Amino acid sequence: MQNQKGYPAWQFALEATAITVFFSYIGLFVYSAVTNYSARAEQSSLLSVQLVLYALFAYITADFVSGLVHFLADNFGNPETPFFGKVFIYAFREHHVDPKAITHHAFVETNGANCLVSLPGLIYFHHASASVLDYTFRFYFLVFYLGIFLTNQIHKWSHLDNPPRLIAALQRWHLILPPAHHAIHHAAPYDKYYCITCGWLNAPLQQLHFFQALKKVLRWDFR
């Protein structure tokens, strides 16, 4: 995805700061997780299983949100819509015109927008109070926001002709969005397979005609 009118220095500075703050919070969370985990694990042998399930569910939720935002940006509003117009709508629409442009974006330009929208939620949930339930709940949001943060990077990797070997392996194992899978979205009529984190929800949502139905509802078009 490319930004309108190039990539100004102020935007780079803002997004680089957001990414630094984002990873500082990830670091803080991991620190509190390490210091709290052993004590909590003694109280509940199921905690590890619980955390794996939360992580899985969080990753799938991030995939769904990536699809929903992508669907809305492809089909509604216009590039002049305040904030979302420039950050998402223009970017997604241009991406259909020139799908390879995203591969020329450096790390900050690729990930800045998703980081900016993730940051308020991440900070809020990091400071949520900590009973065991809250702890796992906060863990869920940590993985969710990491998934959202990684989405555009994963999307970029799916457009590379020669991704790094580890990335190619993750794509082959379908742990992240595989290029051939994402290519289905880039084929006319461009109305399916919107999810771009891991894409696990694309086939089931297509079987349900979820996005086609949602488009009709939002356009109030029941022909």
The residues binding Zn ion (CB under 5 A) are 74
Q: How far is Cα 218 from Cα 142, in angstroms, rounded to an integer?
A: 31
Are 114 and 197 in contact by the 8 Å Cβ rule? The answer is: no
Of how many residues is the chain composed? Answer: 223
Smallest gap from Cβ 196 to Zn ion, in A, equals 7
**């109030």: which residue's tokens?**
220
Q: Closest CB to Zn ion belongs to which residue?
A: 74
C-alpha to C-alpha distances, 5 to 9, 60, 87, 90, 217, nearest whole angstrom: 12, 34, 12, 11, 34
Token reading at 191: 């109305």
Which one, 82 or 189, has the nearer CB to Zn ion? 189
CB of 113 to Zn ion, least distance (A): 15
> Closer to Zn ion at the Cβ: 51 or 195?
195
Nearer to Zn ion, 1 or 122 (CB): 1
Taking alpha carbons only, the member of 135, 198, 146 closest to residue 172 is 198
> Is the Cβ–Cβ distance between 185 and 172 less than 8 Å?
no
Minimum CB separation of residue 67 from Zn ion in Å reads: 10
Beta carbon nearer to Zn ion, 92 or 141: 92
Question: Which tokens belong to 99?
Answer: 């799908």
State in angstroms the smallest separation of the CB of 176 from Zn ion. 13
Cβ distance to Zn ion smaller for residue 15 or 74: 74
Closer to Zn ion at the Cβ: 139 or 193? 193
Q: Concatenated DSSP letters for 157-170?
A: HTT-SS--HHHHHH
In the complex, least distance from residue 194 CB atom to Zn ion, rounded to whole angstroms: 6
State the maximum Cα–Cα separation within the chain, in Å, rounded to a whole number.
59
Whole-number minimum distance, CB 89 to Zn ion, in Å?
11
Instruction: Report which residue type is found at 149.
Output: F
